[in-house]
Structure 1
Amino acid sequence: MKTIAPQLTPFVRSDAAGAILAETLGHPDREFTLAELGRRTGASGPVVHREAGRLVDSDVLRDRYEGRNRLVSANVDHPLFALMRDLIAATYGPVPVLRDLFEGVDGVEQLLIYGSWAARRAGESGAFPNDIDVLVIGDAPRRRLATLASEAGGQLDIPVNITRLAPGDWEAEEPSAFVATIRSRPMVEVMSGELRA
């Protein structure tokens, strides 16, 4: 099966590699197990193992073993570290940035990215997104969401628009036109109730 080149960063070998780089370069002070990277990126174990191995072989990531666990981290001494970190943050960074900002926020049952960024992440060609559309399912206070949108936009250097929906509106059998449109288009899950627990 032929793999489609990622539309967010066409020069990155795969979408999984972009997601792994977003986690590792975005948290240069942390080490990740391959299983944790799989959970955070949604990539399968073999894909994470293969892509992490390629990134270690190219000296972008470092690895070490602790017992049977292989731990990987960003190689902050790589001559292109700052450039790679900034580029990956601008392309794949929304998921880890939003996850970090929303971790522990009450009233968020699910957090999704939709719109042009999600479409590019799904491989649809088109212009680079000029904003990030985020859907919060829950009852988090709108003022808190506005603050988080501003913080996320500042970190990502791109406007972040947050829409809040009640769980009943999202799960309705006869959804509004807005919900039906979002459901019919690509979405990227950032966080769900299971992931927050």
Structure 2
Amino acid sequence: MRSEAPALMPIFRSQHQAALLAWLLLHPEHEYTLTDLAKKLDVPLTTLQREAQRLVAAGILQDRTLGRARLLRANMSNRSAAPLTQLLAVTFGPETVIGEEFDLTNAARVLIYGSWAERYHGTPGPAPNDVDVLVVGNLERADVYDAADRAQARLGMQVNPVMRTPEQWANDADSLVLQIKASPTVDVTPAGRATS
């Protein structure tokens, strides 16, 4: 099954290709096995293998084998690496960057919502100018805004956080909560922390 070109930036062959490139180019100091990447990106392994092979052949990624494992990393010596990284940071970077910067101790759930999430899920429209983030948990406001500032510096685009306690998230009388629950979201909650 071939995935469609992503609404966030339809110049990429597929959503899977863009996700793979974004992860590796935004983490150029690391190598990953194909199996780890498939799990992390929630992409079928065979699809990821095909995308990786194309990108290795183009010189955008590098691979090597270690025992039976195939390791992938970004080829930062490729002339297109820097501009491609910048493009991916502002288009697909929010999923990675928001997840990393909002990895706060008491964050029970972290969701990206609004226009960025809509484009991520394929809704056509203009490129998002900002990223809206909902953080559910009993957190200090300063910690959430510090995370937003760090994410904004990395992405080069405005990050707008809102906070709700777990009780507020469960309460269907909150109009923002209802709006978010009825709209496309991207869950970037750190693994093992999500609550209903």
Contact 1:112 1:189 in 2 (8 A): yes
RMSD (CA atoms): 1.8
Q: Which range moves more in the overlay, 130-139 or 162-171?
A: 162-171
Spell out the pairing of 1:67-78 with structure 2 (5 A cutoff): 67-78=67-78
- Matched residue, 1:6: 6
Shift in alpha-carbon separation, 1:39–1:102, aligned structure 2, 3 A: farther
Q: TM-score, normalised by structure 2?
A: 0.91
Match of 1:186? 184
Distance 2:51 2:111 in 1: 25
Structure 1 stretch 14-23 or stretch 46-55: which is displaced more? 46-55
The structure-2 alpha-carbon separation of the partners of 1:83 and 1:30, relative to structure 1 and needing over 3 Å to count, comes to: same
For these two proteins, the number of residue pairs brought into alignment is 194
Residue 166 of structure 1 corresponds to which residue in structure 2?
165
Which range moved further: 174-183 or 75-84? 174-183
| 2:106 pairs with 1:107 | yes
Please state how far the C-alpha of 1:34 moved relative to its aligned partner: 1.5
Deviation at 1:130, TM superposition (A): 1.0
- Could you give the per-residue CA deviations for residues 42-83 of structure 1, whole angstroms, max 9, x where no partner exists? 222222222222211221111111122111000111111111
Q: 1:47–1:169: structure 2 CA closer, same or farther, 3 Å change rule?
A: farther
- The 2-side partners of 1:58 and 1:189 are apart by 32
Structure 1 segment 85-164 matched on structure 2, within 5 A: 85-103=85-103, 105-164=104-163
Contact 1:109 1:193 in 2 (8 A): no
Runs of 5+ unmatched residues, structure 1: none
One-letter amino acid matched to 2:97: V
- Please, what TM-score do these two structures have when normalized by structure 1? 0.91
2:54 alignment partner in structure 1: 54
SS for the counterpart of 1:120 is helix
1:175–1:49 CA distance, 2 compared to 1 (3 A)? farther
Taking the aligned partners of 2:169 and 2:3, their CA distance within structure 1 comes to 32
Counting aligned pairs with the same residue, the percent is 37
The residue identity in structure 2 corresponding to 1:90 is V
1:96-151 CA-to-partner distances (Å, cap 9, x unmatched) read 21222233x21111211110001001011101101100111111211111111111
Alignment CA distance shift 1:94-1:65 (3 Å): same
Is residue 20–residue 41 contact of structure 2 (8 Å, CA) maintained in 1? yes
Residues of 1 paired with 2:138 and 2:51: CA distance? 38
Shift of 1:193: 4.8
* Pair 1:76–1:113, CA change in 2 (3 A): same
Contact 1:116 1:129 in 2 (8 A): yes
Report the 3-state secondary structure (helix = DSSP H, G, I; strand = E; otherwise coil) of the residue aligned with 2:189: strand
Cα distance, 1:4 vs. partner? 2.6
Q: Secondary structure at the match of 1:111?
A: strand
